[in-house]
Structure 1
Amino acid sequence: MPTFVNNKNKANNNAYRPDIDGLRAIAVLLVIGFHASPNWIKSGFIGVDIFFVISGYLITKNIVGDLSKDKFEFIDFYSRRARRIFPALILVLLFSGLIGWIYLLGPEFKQLGKHIAGGAIFIENILYFNEVGYFDADAYTKPLLNLWSLGIEEQFYIFWPLFLWICWRKNTNIYICILIITIISFGLNIYETTNQHEGLYYLPQTRFWELGAGALLACFQNKEWFADKKYKKIKSFNSLSFESIKINNKIINNNIISLIGTALIAFGLLMINTKVIFPGWWALATVIGTVLIIQSGKNTLLNEYVLSNKVLVYIGLISFPLYLWHWVLLSFGKIIYVEGFTFATRLILVGISFLFAWLTYQYIEKPIRYAHKVKIRIEIIYTILALVFIFGITIYLNNGFPNRKFAKNYSLLVSAFNDWNWKEGMLEKSLSNGNTYNVTNNEEVKIAFIGDSHVQQFGPRIVKLFKEGGFKNSAFYTIPGCPPIPNVYDDKHPQCRSFISNINLFLNENPQVQKIVIGACWNCYYETEASEVTNYNNFNYYYEEKNIRYYFRDISKEGVKQSKLELEKYISELSKKYKVYLLLDNPMNDLFDPRKIIGNRLNLVDLESIKNHIPISEIQFSLNNELKLIAEKSSAFYLDQLKYLCPDNLCIRLYNGGMPVYNDDSHLRPGYVRNQVKIFDGIYPKP
């Protein structure tokens, strides 16, 4: 997100760096490109890293510059930040609340209320970190998702001035202080990346090093800060850093430094994509490249004739409101008119975001930022922001005001949102190693259901059949996100490593099992998770053999091929002892999602007028046929859900006058499964 640091004395040509505003423009254009066309600008998200470096550079330059002149005041610092950030933020938050009131369903508006409140107190990154998970909604359904980076910067602004002030007052070398924090943060970043902790992208501790890199550059450029009399006792580091390092400008001039920086950013754009775990080591190219471009100065060829171009400079000046507006408009565009969210629509929304950004900068930001009655303005701004926080909390506590006209009209859709208590009525038991599974009764287990959440979703039907006397005692050994295939893993699901061995342990400890149903979200693993992704938080499954990984997303699709062979082999082994049923997958599509069924929210229509059926995907139909062949080769039976869910190749998404069949875009809701899905009814009835 755009840095919010105000270049002091912009009128002073010696102080103002137009090339930095141009660099801001490049950064925001990369981010917008990624959001508007992720398949073309696959690494545009590195624009955020450019912003972080710029922010760390300018904020440190301003703070330590004032400290060295005994002019730094906390009140003045935070007042300038508030005048710069809060007006545009307040406007966007209120706009989001208004659009949400008109066009969002109850749970959606409740969620938005939470994020309006979080955005007002700058904790959006923490909220989104806690929301990352297997059932996390896709990014476009979160209108305030881009505020995660604002949260990191504001947390930095809260911590950084106090940290620098303490270091300065304690006569501690300011450069060493910053270096230590930067190294610690970078180390945490590498640790989190290596362990592939989900959500690390949003964590402040894994991002502060990027701001710290800019801060180190600010110190490096202002050696006079270390010449102050209070630092006479600290000479060794200064000597090492500034006196012994000599650069011969005849050999390496600033133009070369600028070009090297540009090359590093270009390298990031070419090599970084949504498949890598980011930031990690990958972010170094962008961060170092940005540092070098800033260090090269405003008079190099690139900086003076490209980055200082008037068009780029002006985009840089409006980059903050532009960053805020573009994502809000794109997100609401996808939510409100999912069927019409074409590339052309996205371009139009981006154009509107430029218009809104210009209006915000010209008529909101500038008048408040440069107002004469600063104290009055600041009090008003803080009060309004507090009211916006209360506004968001009120929405959240009132469950999104479900009696609003729009929400009330589609209340049947809302009933499906939280319908996912798949193990209701089951008991929990433990294996000898402490892992748990669920059973319909404490009797001997006769049939085992094995797989992921696409097997779990049938729990309510099995419980119903058991209680009605139509099914023998069953057990569910399932883990969401884990395919029941040996040697197939995803590093974001470390529990998958022991999944197959625990299945074998479960079968050994339940020797009365006679039949096995094995299923999974085959469409996920072999279609969605084997294609190009537009979200760097997505999973990355692979088949592993002799410590060599064959990723599902690779162009060769070798991982997919090997995993299917492994599935066939595994089912063949199970079939030697058990009667095995391979459960084929249910259809998946965005248009099954209750949140997207409306299609065009600009027109308030009755659910009866919405199509109850949609065509099945040819790819999913083809995959089903391939899995049938695997079952036949493995001496197993198959259970074809399409026979029940897609009669005549038209898949059911609404029933009984508007009740959704699905909980989201891929999971059948228990309320539907319990009474409507009869695919298992005849495989193991009680005598």
Structure 2
Amino acid sequence: MEYRKDIDGLRAIAVLPVVLYHAGIPGFSGGFVGVDIFFVISGFLITGILHKDLAEGRFSLATFYERRARRILPALFVVVATCLAAGVLLLLPDMLVGLARSALATMMFASNVWFWFSTSDYFAPSADLEPLLHTWSLAVEEQFYIVLPLLLWWLYGKPRRAVLGALVGLCIFSFLLSVWATGPYPQESFYFAPTRAWELGLGVLLALGVFPACRNAYLVEAIALSGIAAIFIAVALYSAATPFPGIAAALPCFGALALLWSGEQRQTAVARILSSPVPVAIGLVSYSLYLWHWPIIVYFRLTLGTLDLPYAQASLAIGLSFACAFASWRLVERPFRRRPPIGISRQRIFASALAGAAVLSVVSAVVDLREGFPERLPQDVRLAYAGSRDIDARRGRCDGKLPKDGLCRIEGEASSPSDRRNDVLLWGDSHAGALLSGLDFLMDGRKRGGAVAFKGACPPILGVQRVDQKHSGDCVAFNAAIMAMLEQSDDFPIVVLSARWPLAANGKRYPGETGRPAILDRLDFEEASLGTAGNYAIFKSEFLRTVREIRDTGRRVVIVDGIPEIGWSVPHALGLHRLIDADLPPPPTRQAVDARSAKANSVLAIADEDLGVQRVSAVPLLCNPVCAVEKNGIPLYSDDDHLSVYGAMTIVPRMFKDLMPSDTNRRLRPG
């Protein structure tokens, strides 16, 4: 294929938004679409090479994979090795284990599956400190390259109409699958190859001549301008809240297609700009820049103790990424691309690839088996790090458990199941689950007991679903089952409601926290969701209705105000602060917590006017005036917003000291 400078320029248009988006530079909230542009370019270039080889009768899988190995593996191996080495020095054990597992998945070109499994959501906070998260796109491409050569080889020689029809049909199917899956299965649609194949497929179809040529210079120029405009619009206007890929991915993908197609027709004004020295230079190092920028940003975040890098540090991370990219291109990429007599032979390339993958896989497996070498940590670091594991062992097995399966117990001093008391029901989302250990301690001291019913991301609000969740209807069914139990039994005279109320009422996450907004919707509401704008009205009406329905059964209701959200993982920040002297982010103030909770608290205050409702709060116990995140060197949180077992046992008994009257086995009035 004839070299086109404008394609290297288009690579620059693809990689720069990704880098700037990840660095948190304003104006690039949709920069993640650069990956989609890369997909279209890759499909076009690889198909062009394969088509040429097939047409000339010299198609060879060995030659194809030799090219892929020369292009992809050397720089990838260097980056993965560097990440592992840096991880041993800079990461806490669980983070190092996660890195090792992702490195192993990367060696198998299955990191997209791994990150779908381990982080679920590309935009979630759990993904923001994964040094190899960006390799998911390489995995998608490599999985595509396993299928594409064989498919083209099998189709070659068949009637052109049938070949193109089959390929167009596959692309349409993949696109429709992506559009459908982005709603109910957003994570699978984002990470998996079948829902991304159409993006590479656009490049395939262009390389095979599906899109007709055009001699109208004005039309070609207009299409080129529309292509670059489509990309810029997606980069500027898309965000983590945009359902993606689905229909939204069509804008940047067809924008890239328009630029590739118009560049084939003539030297357009856009192509001349893309062919200028600066875009071409960035395009030449774009692969190495893509590989290096994300680990550098992650380690900057770790060192500075914040996901939201200040502008100066973000600029420094970008500059360092360019320096590493140029060095990687000059010293790693170019030498391995050279062929004999001045370069490396095919046999040595394959041998080096196998050896490199084997060494990195073994190292990753050893790190995993040794659980991240916790013995390398000083004692004070281990004490802080232990907070990330200071989670009640029952949380996993109790999450989402229904009454028919037997709710998990809040244990008092009962010596046998027949002596167990059902004084209190704790009902809510994962924040309720985090209170469990503290209530255990309290109930035990008062010789009382009860049960807990909680489900992650499901506030205890009847008839309300979280449309941003994959299985949003589960919240409705779960809460309905708990309410039905209360209506049908005489147990649990006290019902304690606990959830992340500020997130439910606002819909927006804590400032600096990434992840999809939490969007509430009523089950019986026929109109389209209003997004987060509708959260407050739904929260107010349906939460108050829920409290009334519980009160109508004759029970007393205790509402736990929202636990202060910290905005950063407390155990990891404390551990990294002690391990590498990373900056400890400032905890929120009482004023900031009150401002964040204002909408939710206005609704809780209305409920509190009922004589049978009581509010308790951890805010005055934790935030005076700055929120405490540790006590005696031990974290009070297991992450950024859930109390640890130590935190719950420290705070809950003080928060609930006046919870129960002398006789809790009596309802307030007949149900």
Same-fold status (TM-score > 0.5): yes
Distance 1:310 1:166 in 2: 40
Pairwise CA distance, 1:263: 3.2
Matched, 1:448 2:435: no
Secondary structure in 2 aligned to 1:597?
A: helix
**Cα pair distance change 1:542/1:348, threshold 3 Å:** farther
Aligned to 2:480: 501
Sort the Cα spacing of 1:626 and 1:597 in 2 relative to 1 into closer, same or farther, 3 A: farther
2:259 pairs with 1:279: no
Among 285, 309, 314, the residue aligned to 1:318: 285
Letter in 1 for 2:43: G
Higher deviation after alignment, 251-260 or 543-552: 543-552
- What secondary structure sits across from 2:572 in the alignment? coil
Q: Does 1:571 align with 2:537?
A: no
Report if the CA contact (8 A) 2:400-2:454 is conserved.
no
Kindly provide the amino acid, as one letter, of the partner of residue 571 in structure 1: V
Aligned-pair CA distance for 1:168: 2.2
Q: Distance in 2 between matches of 1:316 and 1:16?
A: 13
**Cα drift, residue 502 of structure 1:** 2.1
Distance 1:84 1:665, change over 3 A: same
Distance 1:523 1:427 in 2: 24
- 1:538–1:632 Cα change, 3 Å: closer
Counting only pairs closer than 5 Å after superposition, residues 181-330 of structure 1 correspond to structure 2 as 181-220=170-209, 249-250=215-216, 253-297=219-263, 299-330=266-297
Residue in 2 that maps onto 1:234: none
Deviations along 1:360-384, whole A, 9 cap, x unmatched? 1011110111142323244223312
- Cα 1:628–1:562, aligned 2, differ >3 Å: closer, same or farther? closer
- Residue 617 of structure 2 is aligned with which of 633, 640, 653? 640
Which residue in the other structure is 2:645 paired with? 670
1:623 partner letter: S
The 1:602–1:337 alpha-carbon spacing in structure 2 relative to 1, beyond 3 Å, is farther
Whether 1:111 aligns to 2:98 is: yes
CA distance in 2, matches of 1:538, 1:478: 21
For 1:117 and 1:597, the matched residues in 2 are separated by: 28
Local SS of the residue matching 1:448: strand
TM-score by length of 2: 0.87
TM-score (norm 1): 0.85
Aligned pair partner of 1:478 in 441, 454, 474: 454
* Superposed CA offset, 1:427-472 (max 9, x none): 999868x56632345656332211111111121233334445x153
- Distance in 2 separating the partners of 1:190 and 1:417: 37
**Structure 1 counterpart of 2:360, one-letter code:** V
What count of residue pairs does the alignment treat as equivalent?
640
In the TM superposition, what whole-angstrom CA distance separates every residue of 1:172-223 from its partner, at most 9, and x where no partner exists?
84323322322232222122113244343111111111101110111116xx
CA distance in 1, matches of 2:3, 2:270: 13
C-alpha separation in 1, matches of 2:154 and 2:79: 35
The residue that corresponds to 1:140 in the other structure is: 128
RMSD: 3.1
The whole-number CA distance in structure 1 between the counterparts of 2:512 and 2:485 is 35
CA distance in 2, matches of 1:612, 1:307: 44
What code does the residue aligned with 2:390 have? D
1 CA distance for matches of 2:15 and 2:587?
Answer: 41
| Map of 1:57 onto structure 2 | 44
Deviations along 1:288-342, one digit per CA (max 9) or x if unpaired, are 2211211112533334321111100110110000001111100111112215931
Q: Helix, strand or coil for the counterpart of 1:649?
A: coil
2:525 to 542, 546, 563: 546
Matched position secondary structure for 1:40? coil
Residue 600 of structure 1 deviates from its aligned partner by 4.6
Q: 1:447–1:513: 8 Å Cα contact kept in structure 2?
A: yes
Q: Are 1:36 and 2:15 counterparts? A: no
Pairs within 5 Å for 1:531-542: 535=514, 537=516, 539-542=518-521
Does residue 412 of structure 1 match 2:383? Answer: yes
Matched letter for residue 416 of structure 1: G
Q: 1:439 to 1:132 in 2, by over 3 A?
A: same
Cα distance in 2 between the residues matched to 1:534 and 1:413: 22
Deviations 1:403-427 (A, max 9, x none): 22x4655111221222223537999
Q: Distance in 1 between matches of 2:286 and 2:329?
A: 9
Query: Aligned partners of 1:388, 1:452: CA distance in 2, in Å?
Result: 40
Assess, with a 3 A threshold, how the Cα gap between structure 1 residues 211 and 541 changes in structure 2: closer, same or farther.
same
CA 1:596/1:204 → structure 2, altered by over 3 Å: closer, same or farther?
same
2:319 corresponding residue in structure 1: 351
2:299 to 310, 326, 332: 332
Task: Choose from 88, 95, 106 the match for 1:101.
Answer: 88
Q: 1:193, 1:279 within 8 Å by CA — same for their partners in 2?
A: yes
| Structure 2 match to 1:23 | 10
Closer, same or farther: CA 667–120 of 1 in aligned 2, 3 Å: same
Q: Which residue of 2 aligns with 1:525?
A: 504
Q: CA deviation at 1:120?
A: 1.9
Q: Against the structure 1 CA distance between its residues 383 and 33, is the aligned structure 2 distance closer, same or farther, given a 3 Å change threshold?
A: same
| Counterpart code for 2:68 | R
Structure 2 equivalent of residue 150 of structure 1: 138
Q: CA deviation at 1:349?
A: 0.4
Letter in 2 for 1:386: A
Corresponding residue to 2:625 among 636, 641, 649 = 649
Against the structure 1 CA distance between its residues 531 and 592, is the aligned structure 2 distance closer, same or farther, given a 3 Å change threshold? closer
The answer to whether the 8 A contact 2:274-2:280 is kept is: yes
- What CA deviation, in whole Å up to 9, does each residue of 1:468-498 have, x standing for no partner? 5x15331222111012224432221421232
1:615 to 583, 586, 589: 589
**1:408–1:395: structure 2 CA closer, same or farther, 3 Å change rule?**
farther
User: Does the C-alpha gap of structure 1 residues 53 and 535 become closer, same or farther in structure 2, counting only changes over 3 Å?
Assistant: farther
Unpaired runs of at least 5, structure 2: 411-416, 664-671
CA shift at 1:265, angstroms?
A: 2.5
CA distance in 1, matches of 2:29, 2:297: 17
The aligned amino acid for 1:206 is T
Change over 3 Å in CA distance of 1:594–1:425 after alignment to 2: closer
Deviations 1:247-296, CA, capped at 9 Å, x for gaps: 76348632122123223323433543321210011111221221121111
Cα offsets for 1:534-586 (capped at 9, x unmatched): 75655433457732355453xxx443244224323432443342211111011
Offset from partner CA, 1:483-531 (integer Å, 9 cap, x none): 2224432221421232442232121232333111112011333457367
Q: 1:593 aligns with which of 570, 576, 585?
A: 570
The answer on whether the counterparts of 2:426 and 2:452 sit within 8 Å (CA) in structure 1 is yes
User: Comparing 46-55 with 116-125, which one deviates more in the overlay?
Assistant: 116-125
Which residue does 1:369 correspond to in 2? 337
1:167 and 2:170 aligned: no
| Residues 536 and 302 of structure 1: CA distance in aligned 2, closer, same or farther (over 3 Å) | farther
SS at match of 1:502: helix
Partners of 2:587 and 2:626 within 8 A in 1 = yes
Relative to 1, partners in 2 of residues 1:622 and 1:101: Cα closer, same or farther, differing over 3 Å? closer
Pair 68,424 (structure 1): closer, same or farther in 2 beyond 3 Å: closer
SS at match of 2:639: coil
SS in 1 for 2:243: coil
Q: Which runs of 5+ in 1 are unaligned?
A: 1-7, 9-14, 222-241
Hey, what's the Cα distance between the residues in 2 that align with 1:362 and 1:213? Answer: 31
